[in-house]
Amino acid sequence: MQPFRFYVITDTHYFASELGCCGPAYDEFMSTEQKCFAETQAINEAVFDRLGKAEDADAVLIAGDLSFNGEKESHRGFLELLKGLKAAGKKVYVITAGHDFNDHPFCFDENGRGEPEGTKRGELFDLYYDFGFADAVAVDRESLSYVAQLADGLRLLALNNDGDENRRWRFTEKQTEWIREQTKKAREDGQMMIAMTHYPLLAACPVWPLIGNCMNPDHEAVTAMLADEGVHLCFTGHMHNQSIKCKTTEAGNIFWDVCTGSIIGDPACMRLVTVESPEKVKIETVPVPPFDWDREGLTNEEYFKRQFNSMINTYLDFARDDPKRLLGKLGMKNPNGALVKLVGVAGKKIDKATVGSVCRFFHVKCDESIKARPLRELMLAIVRNIFVGNAPYVEGTPEYDAVMGVVGKLSFVTKILKKKKGLDIPYLVKYSIGHYGVDEYNTEIELA
């Protein structure tokens, strides 16, 4: 088997700008968005131009959420970009995901929110037939999954598990049997097999499994099945975060999940992957190239970061000024009054506190370098670091000592939560604020 290189991008969320993305309703919507909206067409065009001219790889994998929210016009525009990649000599393999079909997508103009023509899930196979299905070794039409021969000795297991119009994310029993058949055939044919699916199979941080829409709900069983069937590497997206995580199954088999950030939101990255051998894969991260937009003098990184920070700051403002709205954004339709009041009090305290004042309250030693740092700023940084990857607040840093010191003072609460809910809060916090694994941007991983 010869070394083989390819690019991975995900969560392109292409939106046809002519549909409309302006006005007061648009501004309100964007106040709680991580990803860009009006800029998506320009960002995608810059990325695809870069990929089309790339001389270091001739294949591109795209791991779902191709359109912003299933707009028919957005699919048409995105398909033109895919055709351009093919015309440039690239092989393109896509899967679709939940944002690619919708009966009620939306757009915005000065008059408010509009509803362009949507796309049904049943249309996606024909729409994207030429970008994975047409040359597939095997196809599972019902699940919109397929197997592609990427190179001599290397196959791609492209897995879609949106399931149906109700967006059930589980692999069905029938699809699971199909997966086992394809992995068995790959072994019999002497083929290395890697996978691509939209929803993460390993958590970027311990909080992910606690949030309902962050991961494949059967991730423990699915990762064990794939690893034990000989598939040790999977590329994912969905959460718009940059992470590389690993587990070892009970049978002693390794599984890696390489999750890549959305190209239209912080941290806005692509992956360049080199399969050097069945045992070794090199992962490199390439930032999204500059795009044709008035970025107000900001670099790409600064521009995307500003949007991310704006989103978090809006939620913190809600906690202070409108806690009921915040709880609604978090999925609580009718929160009780006591909870609303508690969140409001906490929001006001957070807004005024510094790291030093919190440490004094809990009688925790605080390094001079962070005493004056606003608590709100530290909270924002912790959240952003989870998405950007390589979270820096590890043991020995002032931030780690302060945060874990406060958590330690709350042991009477954390012990109750562990006993009653099974939540190990010190573990959750430690591995959310700091990263202890391989570099999540550039690294070589061992598959066996």
Q: Which of 63, 72, 67, 61 is nearest to 37 (CA)?
A: 67
- Residues of CATH 3.60.21.10 domain(s) within the chain? 4-290
What is the per-residue DSSP string for 361-407?
HHT----GGGTTSBHHHHHHHHHHHHHHSS-B--TTSHHHHHHHHHH
**Lowest mean pLDDT: which of 3-7, 51-55, 116-120, 335-339?**
335-339
Per-residue pLDDT tens digits for 359-388: 999 999 999 999 999 999 999 999 999 999
Q: How far apart are CA 105 and CA 20, in angstroms?
A: 12
Q: Which of 106, 112, 18, 13 is nearest to 62 (CA)?
A: 13
Two tokens at 338? 């006591």
Q: What is the mean predicted confidence (pLDDT) over 180-189?
A: 98
Q: What is the mean predicted confidence (pLDDT) over 203-215?
A: 89
| Residue 416: strand, helix, or coil | helix
Contacts of 200 (CB under 8 A, 6+ apart): 208, 214, 215, 216, 219, 236, 237, 238, 239, 243, 257, 259
Using alpha carbons only, give the angle 53, 55, 56 rounded to the nearest 5 degrees: 130
> Spelled out in words, what is the top-level CATH class assigned to the domain 4-290?
alpha beta
Whether cis (ω within 30° of 0) applies to the bond prior to 287 is no
Per-residue pLDDT tens digits for 277-331: 999 999 999 999 999 999 999 999 999 999 999 999 999 999 999 999 999 887 7
Q: What is the largest CA-CA distance in the chain?
A: 65
The answer to whether the beta carbons of residues 92 and 62 sit under 8 Å apart is: yes
Q: Which of 116, 158, 143, 125 is nearest to 10 (CA)?
A: 158
Using alpha carbons only, give the angle 377, 382, 388 rounded to the nearest 5 degrees: 115
The count of residues in the chain is 448
Q: Report CA 299 to chain centroid distance, whole Å.
A: 22
**pTM exceeding the 0.85 threshold for the entire prediction:** yes
169 pLDDT above the threshold of 90:
no
